[in-house]
Amino acid sequence: MNRKLLAELLGSFFLFATVIGSGVMAEQLSGGNVAVALLGNTVATGAMLFVLVTMLGPISGAHFNPAVTLVMGLRGELGRGAALGYFLAQIVGGVLGVWAAHVMFGLPVIQFSHHPRTGVGQWTGEFIATFGLLITILGTLKARPQWVPASVALYITSAYWFTSSTSFANPAITIARSLSDTFAGIAPADVVGFIMAQLAGAIAAWLVAKILFVEN
């Protein structure tokens, strides 16, 4: 279990550092072009996801996401104690990753986002983003487990662009991004709405997957 928690902490650290760091770099280099900045943020995040899921998947399952951990717990693949440990490792590792990105780019380590992300459109985007991510994971595990790293990376790369919320799809990263007043941030007041939509999307995916991916 210690190895699994370390894998979740380390994976969350690098994933969240990538989201924030690439957002800062993209904003600095894009000359004010938000589309170009988002593209840079997207490519870096998708690439890092592929690396981390490939490398750490055999150890912890490479969740890096409380929504994924929740669904794996509902499927009976993870006990309550282990799930709680995963949640804590994901949040702690993720916040450390955000702070590391701040240090790398010479920003104040402790800060809070002023980027508003709220409303029915944004919440719907998060519901769909999280639902799609979990269906992607569960479906690929059933059909071709070796393709999970690529499927997750490609899904998130796509969901950055087709969802109104740019696909956070992760309660831990939502919390961590509220601690960064940068391109990828979210105002703390908007965190609860995002997390509720994400958890609803995850549970909906679990229920649909029970019907869709039945054993032959």
pLDDT tens for the 216 residues of the chain, in order? 899 999 999 999 999 999 999 999 999 999 999 999 999 999 999 999 999 999 999 999 999 999 999 999 999 999 999 999 999 999 999 999 999 999 999 999 999 999 999 999 999 999 999 999 999 999 999 999 999 999 999 999 999 999 999 999 999 999 999 999 999 999 999 999 999 999 999 999 999 999 999 865
Query: Would you list the domain boundaries of the chain?
Result: 2-212
Which backbone phi and psi does 117 adopt, to 5 degrees?
A: -145, 95
For residues 127 and 205, the answer to whether their CB atoms sit within 8 Å is no
| Residue 49 DSSP SS3 | helix
Q: What does each C-alpha distance from 213 to 10, 103, 139, 184, 210 come to in angstroms? A: 31, 44, 7, 34, 6
Task: Spell 79-116 as b/e; 16+ CB within 10 A means b.
Answer: eeebbebbbebbbbbbbbbbbbbbeeeeeeeebebeee
The answer to whether the beta carbons of residues 66 and 83 sit under 8 Å apart is no
Number of H helices, E strands in the chain: 8, 0
Question: Is the backbone of residue 107 left (phi > 0), alpha (psi -120 to 50) or beta?
Answer: beta
CATH number for the segment(s) 2-212: 1.20.1080.10
pLDDT at 215: 62
Cα separation, 94 vs 83, in Å, equals 16
